[in-house]
Structure 1
Amino acid sequence: MVKAGETETKKKAKCFKDKRKNMQRLGGGRGGLSLEAFANAKTKTNTYNPAIIKKQREFYKNAKYVNKYKRIVKQQQGEPSGSGSARQLEDEEGRRNKKNSARSLREIYERKREEDDKAKMETEATILARKEERQRAESRRKELREKMFKKTKSGQPVMKYRIEHILETLQGSKV
């Protein structure tokens, strides 16, 4: 059997160990957290701050410009003095090619745009034709419906139109 005194000492020892673990986790021994550690633990760094994002974007942009400048300086230092004119000729040829390619791209763009416009006009024409056909069919059905539902003064249906309709359908099925 376990004595009552032993369980109390085990509980106290466990409590002391837990307290010591918590103190170490929080960053200190006897004095607890320093003021600086406490402030750092309290501040949140995961909040959205547009000013910081803007600064970072500007920093990366400037770094890109600096790298580009360093690359250009390095290329200029590595070049022999006589190859400058050859490079200028290459640059001029490149510009000409760019102009020609720009013209051809413009022509391609204009052709593509004309084709798109033609396709658009065709689809609009087909849509308009369908709409007109639908309206004509609807008006025919409306007239037929009015004739089929006509009644005499006494309230009897007018059979003339109904017989004509039956005759038309029969003649249409034979042809």
Structure 2
Amino acid sequence: MKNGGRISKQNPNNGGNNQKSTGLAPINSKMKKNRNRLGGGGLSLQAFANAKSKNDGYNPALIKKQREFYKNAKYVNKYKKSQKQPNQGQSSSQATNLAEGTSENREVGERHLRKSKKPYSLEEIYNQKQEEEQKARMEKDAIIKSKKEEKEKSEARRKAQKEKMLKKTRSGQPIMKYRIEHLLQTLQGSKN
């Protein structure tokens, strides 16, 4: 239908009348537009709670922990088996060795024990430690001293060179003699 150059659509709610409907219809259409813009109606509170509490049994952290536990258990079992096998063979040979043990073996063992039980006095240990620390300190001081001397030498050399480079005549012109010598030295150094 045309009304003064306008084309109006018929609203099924108002029975084909071109009159505007009550204020309720535009609010519903706005809500529908917003809902569509935001991606649908969303979940109800009950549906959300059920979705969160659902336990599907898939927990990657738990699965990883179980896998690691079984892996470690397997290694422990292998280790225990490997410990049992050599001990069975050695136990019989050890028994024969103990039965055949002579007094000579016992004497050698006793001598060894006497030597190893020699106690170290705390003073000896303390003195030894102090000597080591003093040596380390002296080496450190020597290194620091040599670095300091090198630094002082290089600073003195730079200072003397700077004075030569900044020398000027009475009229204020730079003296080129020292600058040319410096250039010559650098060229000779680069050739070598």
Q: Please give the TM-score of this superposition, normalised by the length of structure 1.
A: 0.41
Larger proportion of helix: 1
Q: Which entry has the higher C-alpha Rg, 1 or 2? A: 2
Q: Please give the TM-score of this superposition, normalised by the length of structure 2.
A: 0.38
RCO comparison, higher one (Cα < 8 Å, 6+) = 1
